[in-house]
């Protein structure tokens, strides 16, 4: 939501905004516009403190409108509010890196909260029509209560810098988290199949191998090594300039996810100059359009075939690069901010 704030600051000098963040993140975002201020609010998600303490805190603000950027919120709050529902992943997946009991308890609570949020929010925002339709059906609400505001695609201005271990190599690349629904084990298996005829092809997995979010990567790496897979490289964290170089020099960026709410990494790969080969699941074809080669993410053979079709055909690689650049350019954080501000004003004007 940092990008939303950044662009709201550029277009709205009329309304006063109070941005609530955990104390640990208070210095993460520095407003430039004097009508934007940061305040601390330390309430754990899906907790009694969130339901009781956060509700009391919001009441003291006496805000004309509250934008909850996630469904978790005090369900007893009675002021005007809109809610962004990014995806339904919490309700439809289980990640093996989580505590089974704690995750399913959170999931059970989440189902109730999501439904109440759908009914009590004055308006709902989603990033894709896929999420809009799924959430409307889940919460049993009128789809007209939901507005789709697609995310933007901003890759920054970092000049690509060589990642020396990959100079002269042929490789596929994936960047990001590796929770179970990201489907990385099937990607590894497809890569091993391709290596039967393209033994020089590496699979490069970029992501931090430390901290809480690094646990799935560590576990997948251990699983890969146990299988005896060859040609798979974990780089650990890479700065933006080296990630950009990897994308520009990859045979393709592969996005095998089983479920997304938007799928921004695929767009960022397109904007960086990589041909994209992607899962045909959930919202991904909606976001990527005709700028990706698609496969069934549950079918390793189909994934293998899609990857091979692209990397064996230079004309197809160039076609996907050109289409990708066009597709990524269609998404704008500025436009998202304009759409969001219109929603704010519409809700404020409702009686």
pLDDT digits 0-9 by tens, 236-284: 999 999 999 999 999 999 999 999 999 999 999 999 999 999 999 999 9
**Cβ neighbours, 10 Å, residue 129:** 14
Helix, coil or strand: residue 247: helix
Question: Is 231 a member of any domain?
Answer: yes
Helix (H) or strand (E) holding 303: helix 300-311
Torsion of CA 152, 156, 157, 161, to 10 degrees: -120
Range of the domain at 147: 2-152+332-348
Asked if residue 238 and residue 130 are part of one domain, the reply reads no
Q: Could you tell me what percentage of the chain is helix, strand and coil, using 3-state DSSP and rounding each to the nearest 5? A: 50, 15, 35
Same domain flag for 241 and 314: yes
Please indicate, yes or no, if residue 119 is contained in any of the structural domains: yes
Token pair for 202: 């590496």
Same domain membership, residue 183 and residue 94: no
Shared domain check, 82 and 6: yes
Q: Are residues 78 and 188 in the same domain?
A: no
Is there a single domain that holds both residue 78 and residue 177? Answer: no
The encoded tokens of residue 63 equal: 């805000």
Residue 68: inside a domain: yes
In a domain, 158, yes or no: no
Same-domain check for residues 113 and 187 = no
Q: In this structure, is residue 87 part of a structural domain?
A: yes
Task: State the total domains in the chain.
Answer: 2
Same domain, 233 and 311: yes
Q: What's the pLDDT score for residue 261?
A: 97
- Tell me, letter by letter, the H, E, C secondary structure of the chain: CHHHHHHHHHHCCCCCEEEEECHHHCCCCCCCCCCEEEEECCCCCCCHHHHHHHHHHHHHHCCCCEEECCCCCCCCCCCCEEEECCCCHHHHCCCCCCCHHHHHHHHHHHHHHHHHHHHHCCEEEECCHHHHHHHHHHHCCCHHHEEECCCCCCCCCCCCCCCHHHCCCEEEEEECCCCHHHCHHHHHHHHHHHCCCCCCEEEEEECCCCCHHHHHHHHHHHHHHHHCCCCEEEEECCCHHHHHHHHHHCCEEEECCCCCCCCHHHHHHHHHCCCEEEECCCCHHHHHCCCEEEECCCCHHHHHHHHHHHHCCHHHHHHHHHHHHHHHHCCCHHHHHHHHHHHHHHHHCCC
Please give the chain's pLDDT, 351 residues, in tens: 889 999 999 999 999 999 999 999 888 888 999 999 999 999 988 788 999 999 999 999 999 999 999 999 999 999 999 999 999 998 888 777 677 777 777 778 778 889 999 999 999 999 999 999 999 999 999 999 999 999 999 887 779 999 999 999 999 999 999 999 999 999 999 999 999 999 999 999 999 998 878 899 999 999 999 999 999 999 999 999 999 999 999 999 999 999 999 999 999 999 999 999 999 999 999 999 999 999 999 999 999 999 999 999 999 999 999 999 999 999 999 999 999 999 999 999 987
- Whether 233 and 337 map to the same domain: the answer is no
Provide the CATH number for the domain around residue 104.
3.40.50.2000
pLDDT of residue 116: 94
Please report whether residue 157 resides in a domain.
no
User: Do 145 and 268 belong together in one domain?
Assistant: no
Residue ranges of alpha helices (H) inside 228-299 are 240-249, 264-272, 284-288
- Whether residue 172 is found in the same domain as residue 317: yes
**Do 298 and 280 fall within a single domain?**
yes
Enumerate helices (H) and strands (E) in the chain, giving the number of each.
14, 12
């Amino acid at each position: 939501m940092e990008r939303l704030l950044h662009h709201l600051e550029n277009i709205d000098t009329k309304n006063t905004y109070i941005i609530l963040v955990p104390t640990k993140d208070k210095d993460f975002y520095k407003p430039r516009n004097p009508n934007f201020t940061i305040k601390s609010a330390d309430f754990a998600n899906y907790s009694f403190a969130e339901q009781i303490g956060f509700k009391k805190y919001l009441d003291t603000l006496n805000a004309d409108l509250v934008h909850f950027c996630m469904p978790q919120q005090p369900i007893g709050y009675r002021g005007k509010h809109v809610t962004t529902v990014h995806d339904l992943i919490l309700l439809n997946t289980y990640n093996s890196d989580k505590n089974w009991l704690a995750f399913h308890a959170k999931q059970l609570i989440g189902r109730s909260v999501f439904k109440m949020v759908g009914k009590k929010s004055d308006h709902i925002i989603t990033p894709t029509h896929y999420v809009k339709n799924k959430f409307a059906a889940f919460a049993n609400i009128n789809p007209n209560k939901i507005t789709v505001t697609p995310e933007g695609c901003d890759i920054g201005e970092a000049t690509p810098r060589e990642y020396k271990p990959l100079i002269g190599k042929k490789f596929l690349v994936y960047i990001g988290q590796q929770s179970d629904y990201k489907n990385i084990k099937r990607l590894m298996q497809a890569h091993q199949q391709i290596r039967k005829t393209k033994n020089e092809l590496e699979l490069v997995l970029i992501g931090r191998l430390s901290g809480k979010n690094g646990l799935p990567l560590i576990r997948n790496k251990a699983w890969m090594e146990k299988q005896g897979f060859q040609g798979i490289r974990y780089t650990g964290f890479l700065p933006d300039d080296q990630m950009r170089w990897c994308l520009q020099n990859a045979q393709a960026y592969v996005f095998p996810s089983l479920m997304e709410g938007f799928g921004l990494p695929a767009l960022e790969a397109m904007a960086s100059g990589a041909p994209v080969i992607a899962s045909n699941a959930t919202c991904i074809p909606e976001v990527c359009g005709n700028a990706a080669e698609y496969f069934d993410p549950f079918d390793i053979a189909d994934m293998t075939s899609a990857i091979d079709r692209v990397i064996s055909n230079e004309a197809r690689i160039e076609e996907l690069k050109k289409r990708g650049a066009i597709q990524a350019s269609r998404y704008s954080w500025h436009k998202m901010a304009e759409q969001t501000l219109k929603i704010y004003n519409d809700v404020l004007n409702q009686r």
